[in-house]
Chain A
Amino acid sequence: MKSKLSRNLYAIPYALWILIFVVAPIVLVLYYSFFDIEGNLSLTNYINFFTPVYLKMTLSSFWYAFLITAFTLLISYPTAFLLTKTKNKQLWLLLIIVPSWINLLLKAYAFLGIFGTYGTANSLLEVLGIGSKQILFTDFSFIFVSVYIFIPFMILPIFNALDEMSPTLLDAANDLGASAWTTFRRVIFPLTLDGVRSGCQVVFIPALSLFMLTRLISGNRVITLGTAIEQQFLVTQDWGMGSTIAVFLIIIMFVFVALTGSRKRGM
């Protein structure tokens, strides 16, 4: 009896934390979403969300998040695979993880310098005889920088999945007649699918609501749901509409997690 009581006592800080920092904000967001800009209780925000402006914005958010996730995966999987084959794999992994500890804003400013009209990238293009180009404020630079920032978050779960895999499974596949490619398709990839899933989650969801990069790197050419929320709260001061977009963002996130949720399997 006593242990049950004390266990409940220990759970209190945790429960409080969840209540104050997770449940309360969501409830508040939900609450504000039902007030229009004049402060009247109404559903206008929800009706507004289903107008072409916001729907297009949602679609483009999805599209960019999808592109970012896809490119990040394309680069991260082979990298994680090569990492597991190196001798000091933990060291290499650390080297790849370290940049993610640096503040996002700093990295964004660094890219401003690199991609700027007189930046390193353009000097290189000059030297190669291609001539300088407008790199900053393009879709390319936005996706490039986003992918760069998300790579460590994708590599980590995939690396762990690959690293956990018993090497005798590969011998076994080989033994049963599988070529290297077949082994990858039928054994390695299915066994790392959970890692790929969680990697995609940690990239796709934040990518949906990126807003700092959209302004700094793409010069607000790309408008995501994140940018819209920021604008509504800070510029238009329409807290109701901002909250409504946030509500949809939260719903989308839950749907995405549910869809990519890992099936239970393995030993």
Chain B
Amino acid sequence: MSDQVIIRFEGVTKQYDQDIPVLNDVSFEIERGKFYTLLGPSGCGKTTILRLIAGFTEATQGEIYFNGNVINNVPANKRQVNTVFQDYALFPHLNVFENVAFGLRIKKTKKEEVAKKVHEALAFVNLEGYENREIREMSGGQRQRVAIARAIINEPEVILLDEPLSALDLKLRTEMQYELRELQQRLGITFIFVTHDQEEALAMSDEIFVINRGKIQQSGTPTDIYDEPINRFVADFIGESNIVKGKMLADHLVEFVGKQFDCVDQGLNPDEPVEVVIRPEDLEITTRERGKLQVRVDSQLFRGVHYEISSYDKDGNEWLVHSTKKATVGDEIGLYFDSEAIHVMRFGETEEEFDKRLEAYGDGVGNEE
């Protein structure tokens, strides 16, 4: 374990009254100064992970380490983390200044220093001059920034953010995504950000943890996860994808929709059944003759930057294509793709096994020609 690790979960299980644990034997490491995102569908346990780190709830089993020490029994008010809550949880009876100053007042900081630090924190989130406003007089985006100022003023080592952008409209949300990312880089402290919006996760994070049903399905950089999803859930959840059943004939040779294709995957058993993923933007429209697949265009949607074309092959598999070129509904077209565009997923492969296979076969899948 390196010095870089600030938070570590070891076999953490969280169970309420029901039979099914909310978190099931979860282990991961969080490194200092990075932007992490916990991504997953509603109810998968994201908030529970944050609450365990913040100390609002206790783990049923397993250890939580902070800077190398077990903190399972450290109460929330003694932990070096601060939270930005989903509903901001700003104190309605206090104005902006007093909300931000709350943590310092508890530490009995001197008056002049409180004033100075609050001013700095508000400047940090671009809210100078709002000190005397009441919370109800602030807009959603401004409230969120007050909540962030209130969290950073204590100079915690980690800030937890529970879907802080979900209440904002699209434009403000995109703006705040840039601001948050920039803020994290300026402060240089660890952010753990929760969202169920995959685009948000891909845009902001150094590392993403994809969570489903109380288990971390996959962790890695946004490109890792996007390009090499480990299973159907991840492939489906992150971006759009075409997933079909196939068979691995040998290294670098896979069969699906009744044809054989070159690919870059290796290290699987001969004739092993697999699932094949091809991202819609990796499919290129061409003539029937030049295409590797022949499909009929079923419908087409204009999405602003590209067309989203839905088409079916003769076996009835749907193929989604993102293309800047327009197609004609009802036409027979060909789809062309590179061998790198094919991503093969084994059934039931865990992240560990997946990483091991990549290591054993050199540089990894994407880089091979």
Q: Which residues of A line the B interface, CB within 8 A?
A: 166, 168-169, 171-179, 182, 186-187, 190-191, 265-267
Which of B75, B86, B92, B102 meets A176, CB within 8 Å? Answer: B102
A265 is contacted by which of B106, B107, B134, B154 (Cβ under 8 Å)? B134
Considering the chains assembled together, what is the distance between the CA atoms of A68 and B76 in angstroms? 39
Smallest CB-CB separation from B134: which chain A residue?
A: A265
Residues of chain A with a CB closer than 8 A to B23's CB:
none
* Contact digits for B128-153, partner A, Cβ 8 Å, 1 yes 0 no: 00000011100000000000001000
Does B87 make an interface contact (CB < 8 A)? Answer: yes
Pair B76/A174 contact, Cβ less than 8 Å: yes
Q: Are A266 and B92 in contact (CB under 8 A)?
A: yes
Asked if B136 and A176 sit within 8 Å, CB to CB, the answer is no
- List chain A residues, Cβ under 8 A from B85: 168, 171-172
Q: Please, which residues of chain A bring their CB within 8 A of the CB of B78? A: 177
Task: Quote the shortest CB–CB distance from B226 to chain A (angstroms).
Answer: 33
Q: Chain B: how many interface residues by the 8 Å CB criterion?
A: 28
A266 contact set on B, CB distance < 8 A: 92-93, 136
Chain B residues near A172 (CB, 8 Å)? 83, 85, 89-91
* Residue pair B92, A265 in contact (C-beta under 8 Å): yes
Contact A177 B103 (CB under 8 A): yes
Q: Which residues of A contact B361 (CB under 8 A)?
A: none
State whether the Cβ of B266 lies closer than 8 Å to any Cβ in chain A.
Answer: no
B54 at the interface (CB under 8 A from A): yes
CA distance A266 to B134 in the complex (A): 8
CB of A191, distance to nearest CB on chain B (Å) = 6
Known contacts A172-B91, A175-B77; 6 additional CB pairs below 8 A are A169-B89, A171-B76, A172-B83, A174-B75, A176-B150, A176-B154
Kindly state the separation between the CA atoms of A266 and B106 in the bound complex, as whole angstroms: 22
Q: Bound complex: CA of A140 vs CA of B253, how far in Å?
A: 94
B190 within 8 A of A: no
- Tell whether B82 is near chain A: CB-to-CB under 8 Å: yes
Cβ of B56 < 8 Å from any Cβ of A?
yes
Structural contact, A174 and B77, CB atoms closer than 8 A: yes
Contact A174 B56 (CB under 8 A): yes
- A176-B93 contact in complex given A166-B87, A171-B56, A267-B136, C-beta closer than 8 Å: no
Known A187-B91, A267-B136; judge A176-B54 contact (CB<8 A).
Answer: no
Chain A residue numbers with a CB within 8 Å of B135 are: 267
CA distance A171 to B102 in the complex (A): 13
Q: A166-B87, A168-B87, A182-B106 are in contact. Are A175 and B93 (CB under 8 A)?
A: no
Residue of A nearest to B101 (CB): A176
CB pair A175 B106 closer than 8 Å? no
Looking at B86, B91, B105, B134, the one whose CB has the most chain A CB atoms below 10 A away is B91
Question: Nearest CB to that of A172 among chain B residues?
Answer: B89
Contacts known (A172-B89, A187-B91); A177 close to B136, Cβ less than 8 A: no
Contact, CB under 8 Å: A178 / B106:
yes
B287-319 interface code vs A (CB 8 A; 1 in, 0 out):
000000000000000000000000000000000
B85's nearest neighbour on chain A, judged by CB, is: A168
- Tell me how far the C-beta of A186 lies from the nearest C-beta in chain B, rounded to whole angstroms: 8
Q: How many angstroms between the C-alpha atoms of A267 and B91 in the bound complex?
A: 10
Q: How far is the CA of A186 from the CA of B103 in the complex (A)?
A: 11
Q: Bound complex: CA of A191 vs CA of B94, how far in Å?
A: 10
> Least Cβ distance of B46 to chain A in Å?
15
Collect the chain B residues with CB atoms within 8 Å of residue A173's CB: 91, 102
Instruction: Tell which of B89, B90, B134, B154 touches A177, judged by Cβ atoms closer than 8 Å.
Output: B154
Cα distance, A267 to B86, chains bound together (Å): 17
**Nearest Cβ in chain B — how far from A196, in angstroms?**
13
* Most chain A CB within a 10 A radius of its CB, from B90, B93, B150: B93
In the complex with contacts A174-B56, A176-B102, A190-B93 CB distance below 8 A: yes
**Cβ distance A170 to chain B, nearest Cβ, rounded Å:** 9
- Known A168-B87, A266-B136; judge A175-B92 contact (CB<8 A): no
Q: A265-B92, A267-B92 are in contact. Are A175 and B134 (CB under 8 A)?
A: no
3 A-B pairs with the lowest CB-CB distances in the bound complex, closest first:
A172-B89, A176-B103, A266-B92
* Given contact pairs A182-B106, A265-B134, A175 touches B91 in the complex (Cβ within 8 A): no
Which of B31-81 touch A at CB < 8 Å?
Answer: 54-56, 75-78, 81
B310–chain A nearest beta-carbon distance, Å: 42
CB distance from B100 to the nearest CB of A (A): 10
**CA–CA, A265 and B136, complex, Å:** 8
Which among B75, B86, B91, B106 is the interface contact of A169 at CB below 8 angstroms?
A: B91
Q: Which residues of A contact B107 (CB under 8 A)?
A: 177
What is the minimal beta-carbon distance from B117 to any residue of chain A, in angstroms?
Answer: 13
Could you tell me which residues of chain B, from 154 to 173, have a CB within 8 Å of some CB in chain A?
Answer: 154
In the assembled complex, which residues on chain B have CB atoms less than 8 Å from the CB atom of A191? 91-93
Look across to chain B and name the residue whose beta carbon is closest to the beta carbon of A168.
B89
Contact of B89 among A166, A178, A179 (CB under 8 A): A166
Asked, given contacts A191-B93, A266-B92, whether A178 binds B87 with beta carbons under 8 Å apart, the answer is: no
A177-B106 in contact (CB<8A): yes
Given contacts A191-B92, A265-B92, contact A175 B136 (CB under 8 A): no
Q: Are A175 and B87 in contact (CB under 8 A)?
A: no
